[in-house]
Amino acid sequence: MTIGEAARQSGVKVTTIRFYEERGLLKAPPRSDGGQRLYSAREVARLRFIRHARDLGFGMEAIADLLELAAHPEAPCADADRLARERLADVRGKIAALRALEGELERMVTACEGGTAADCAVIDSLADHAHCRADHDRSALAAG
């Protein structure tokens, strides 16, 4: 099948398929006499695997490791378990960071009495981090 059909069946954009080929997650497929890439059902299944792993937030290196493991069904799954546990820990860290952020925003909104900007708790908190009660560093959300 063509790259467009592989994209449709896998839910992965054509440009992303090419990116995965460049990164080595997907082997460059054979080409037709006209130069079109030709994909098999096996490559489409691999694309679905990659897409699902990306949806769950796995990084490219982890996905490459998982694909390698999947290619060896007799291998123990300890590495897959470790990668999933690491991803779970990342997600839990982000949830904790989001809860801290939620708490601080809720505190700011609750403290705001609708007066003027000169007496606004939101403005005061944004102007001086010392007014905040919790650590709400957004960099924790970007990690992983």
Instruction: Give, for all 144 residues of the chain, the pLDDT tens digit.
Output: 999 999 999 999 999 999 999 999 999 999 999 999 999 999 999 999 999 999 999 999 999 999 999 999 999 999 999 999 999 999 999 999 999 889 888 988 888 877 888 888 888 888 887 777 767 666 666 655
Q: Which domains, ranges and CATH numbers included, belong to the chain?
A: 3-70 (1.10.1660.10), 78-142 (no CATH)
Amino acid at position 86, single letter: E
Q: How far is the C-alpha of 121 from the C-alpha of 4, rounded, in Å?
A: 53
Residues 6 or more apart whose CB falls under 8 angstroms from that of 64 comprise 23, 24, 25
pLDDT in tens, 52-89: 999 999 999 999 999 999 999 999 999 999 999 999 99
Predicted local distance difference test score (pLDDT) of residue 63: 97
- CA end-to-end distance (rounded Å), the chain: 34
Global pTM value = 0.79
Q: How far is the C-alpha of 136 from the C-alpha of 132, rounded, in Å?
A: 9
